[in-house]
Chain A
Amino acid sequence: MNPDLAPAQHDSARATTRIGLKETPFAPRLRPLNQFEALEYWQGYWSPAHFGNMEREYFAIRNTASVFDISPMNKYRITGPDADAFLQRLVTRDVTKISVGRVAYTVWCDDAGQVIDDGTLFHLGEQDWRLCCQEHQTFWLEASARGFDVSVREETEEVAGLSLQGPTSFSVLSRLGLGGLETLKPFGIRRWPFRGHELMVSRTGFTGDLGYELWIAPGGALDLWDALMEAGQGIGGVEPTGSHALNMARIEAGFLGAQLDFIPADKAIRAGRTRSPYELNLGWLVDLAKGQFTGRKALVEEKARGSRYCLVAVDIEGKEPAEGSLVYHKQKTEVGHITSGIWSPTAKRNIGLASLKRPFGDTKTEDLWVEIYALHELRWEKVMARVRVVKAPFFEPARRRATPPLPF
Chain B
Amino acid sequence: MSTRYDHIVIGAGHNGLVCAAYLARAGRSVLVLEAAEEVGGAARTAEIAPGFRVSACAHLLYGLHPRVIRELSLRRHGLDYASASLQTAVMGADGSVLRLKTDHAAGAIDAADIVALPGFRRRLLKMARHLRPMLLMQPPRLAGRDLKQNIDLARLGFAIRSMGQADMRDFLRIATMNVFDLVQDNFASPLIQAAFAADAVLGTNLGPRSPGTVLTLLYRLIGEVGPVQGAVALPRGGMGAVTQAIAASARDFGATIRMGAAVGRIRVEGERVVGVELADGEFIAAGSVVSNASPQRTLLDLVGPRHLDAGFQRDIGKIRAKGNTAKLNLALSGLPAFRGLDAADLAGRIVLAGSPSAIEAQFDPSKYGEWSPEPLMEITIPSATDATAAPSGQHVLSAVVQYAPYRLKEGWDAARARYLEVLLDHLERFAPGIRQQVVAQQLLTPLDLERDYGMPGGHWHHGELAIDQLLMLRPVNGAARYAMPIAGLFLCGAGAHPGGGVTGAPGHNAAQAVLAEAKPLERAA
Within 8 Å CB of A300, what residues of B? 271
Interface string of A262-305 (1 = CB under 8 A from B): 00000000000000000000000000000010111100100000
- B235-279 residues at the A interface, CB under 8 angstroms: 271
B147 on the A face (CB < 8 A): no
A144 on the B face (CB < 8 A): yes
Does B306 contact A85, Cβ atoms closer than 8 Å? yes
A111 on the B face (CB < 8 A): yes
Choose one: A110, A143, A292; the contact of B306 (CB below 8 Å): A292
Does A297 contact B309, Cβ atoms closer than 8 Å? yes
Does B311 contact A146, Cβ atoms closer than 8 Å? no
A41 on the B face (CB < 8 A): no
Total B residues in contact with A, Cβ cutoff 8 Å:
16
A89 on the B face (CB < 8 A): yes
Interface string of A77-112 (1 = CB under 8 A from B): 000000001000110000000000000000000110
Does A146 contact B306, Cβ atoms closer than 8 Å? no
- B404-430 residues at the A interface, CB under 8 angstroms: none
Shortest C-beta distance, B144 to chain A (Å), equals 11
Does B310 contact A294, Cβ atoms closer than 8 Å? yes
B304 on the A face (CB < 8 A): yes
B369 on the A face (CB < 8 A): no
B141 on the A face (CB < 8 A): no
Does B305 contact A143, Cβ atoms closer than 8 Å? no
Shortest C-beta distance, B78 to chain A (Å), equals 42
- B271-318 residues at the A interface, CB under 8 angstroms: 271, 300, 304-314, 317
Does A292 contact B310, Cβ atoms closer than 8 Å? no
In the docked arrangement, what's the CA distance between A292 and B478, Å? 19
A146-B317, A147-B300, A297-B485 known; A292-B311 Cβ under 8 A: no
Shortest C-beta distance, B293 to chain A (Å), equals 17
Shortest C-beta distance, B107 to chain A (Å), equals 49
Shortest C-beta distance, A187 to chain B (Å), equals 26
A36 on the B face (CB < 8 A): no
Within 8 Å CB of A148, what residues of B? 305
Choose one: B305, B310, B317; the contact of A111 (CB below 8 Å): B310
Residue of A90, A110, A143 with most partner-chain B CB within 10 A: A143
Q: Total A-B pairs in contact (CB under 8 Å)? A: 40
A140 on the B face (CB < 8 A): yes
In the docked arrangement, what's the CA distance between A294 and B311, Å? 8
Within 8 Å CB of A110, what residues of B? 309, 311
In the docked arrangement, what's the CA distance between A295 and B312, Å? 10
Within 8 Å CB of A292, what residues of B? 306-308
Shortest C-beta distance, B271 to chain A (Å), equals 8
Within 8 Å CB of A144, what residues of B? 310
Which chain A residue has the least Cβ–Cβ distance from B270? Answer: A291
In the docked arrangement, what's the CA distance between A140 and B310, Å? 8
Within 8 Å CB of A294, what residues of B? 309-311
A146-B317, A297-B485 known; A111-B311 Cβ under 8 A: yes
Which chain B residue has the least Cβ–Cβ distance from A288? Answer: B271
In the docked arrangement, what's the CA distance between A143 and B308, Å? 12
Interface string of A111-151 (1 = CB under 8 A from B): 10000000000000000000000000000100110111000
Does A89 contact B314, Cβ atoms closer than 8 Å? no
- A297-316 residues at the B interface, CB under 8 angstroms: 297, 300
In the docked arrangement, what's the CA distance between A143 and B307, Å? 15
Does B309 contact A143, Cβ atoms closer than 8 Å? no
In the docked arrangement, what's the CA distance between A367 and B388, Å? 86
Within 8 Å CB of B311, what residues of A? 110-111, 143, 294
Which chain A residue has the least Cβ–Cβ distance from B485? Answer: A297
A146-B314, A146-B317 known; A111-B306 Cβ under 8 A: no
In the docked arrangement, what's the CA distance between A144 and B312, Å? 10
Which chain A residue has the least Cβ–Cβ distance from B268? Answer: A292
In the docked arrangement, what's the CA distance between A292 and B307, Å? 6
Which chain A residue has the least Cβ–Cβ distance from B304? Answer: A147
A143-B314, A146-B314, A146-B317 known; A111-B304 Cβ under 8 A: no
Does B485 contact A147, Cβ atoms closer than 8 Å? no
Does A147 contact B312, Cβ atoms closer than 8 Å? no
Does B310 contact A143, Cβ atoms closer than 8 Å? yes
Does B314 contact A147, Cβ atoms closer than 8 Å? no
Within 8 Å CB of B306, what residues of A? 85, 89, 147, 292
Within 8 Å CB of A143, what residues of B? 310-311, 313-314
Interface string of B305-348 (1 = CB under 8 A from A): 11111111110010000000000000000000000000000000
Within 8 Å CB of A85, what residues of B? 306
Shortest C-beta distance, A94 to chain B (Å), equals 14
Within 8 Å CB of B310, what residues of A? 89-90, 111, 140, 143-144, 294
Does A146 contact B309, Cβ atoms closer than 8 Å? no
Within 8 Å CB of A146, what residues of B? 305, 313-314, 317
Which chain A residue has the least Cβ–Cβ distance from B478? Answer: A111
Shortest C-beta distance, B481 to chain A (Å), equals 15
In the docked arrangement, what's the CA distance between A287 and B313, Å? 21
Choose one: A147, A296, A297; the contact of B313 (CB below 8 Å): A147
Within 8 Å CB of A147, what residues of B? 300, 304-306, 313
Shortest C-beta distance, A267 to chain B (Å), equals 14
Shortest C-beta distance, A265 to chain B (Å), equals 10
Within 8 Å CB of B305, what residues of A? 89, 146-148
Does A111 contact B312, Cβ atoms closer than 8 Å? yes
In the docked arrangement, what's the CA distance between A148 and B310, Å? 11
Which chain B residue has the least Cβ–Cβ distance from A82? Answer: B306
Shortest C-beta distance, B379 to chain A (Å), equals 41
Interface string of B138-155 (1 = CB under 8 A from A): 000000000000000000
Which chain A residue has the least Cβ–Cβ distance from B313? Answer: A146
Within 8 Å CB of A140, what residues of B? 310
Which chain A residue has the least Cβ–Cβ distance from B300? Answer: A147
- B192-220 residues at the A interface, CB under 8 angstroms: none
- Given A144-B310, A292-B308, 16 more A-B residue pairs with CB atoms under 8 Å apart are A85-B306, A89-B305, A89-B310, A90-B310, A110-B311, A111-B312, A143-B310, A143-B313, A146-B314, A147-B313, A148-B305, A292-B307, A294-B310, A297-B271, A297-B309, A297-B485
User: Please, could you name 24 A-B residue pairs with CB atoms under 8 Å apart, sorted by A?
Assistant: A85-B306, A89-B310, A110-B309, A110-B311, A111-B309, A111-B310, A111-B312, A111-B478, A143-B310, A143-B313, A144-B310, A146-B313, A146-B314, A147-B300, A147-B304, A147-B305, A292-B306, A292-B308, A294-B310, A295-B309, A297-B271, A297-B309, A297-B485, A300-B271
- Which A residues lie at the B interface, using CB under 8 A? 85, 89-90, 110-111, 140, 143-144, 146-148, 292, 294-297, 300
- Which B residues lie at the A interface, using CB under 8 A? 271, 300, 304-314, 317, 478, 485
Give the top 7 A-B pairs by smallest Cβ distance, nearest first. Answer: A147-B305, A111-B309, A111-B311, A144-B310, A143-B314, A294-B310, A294-B309
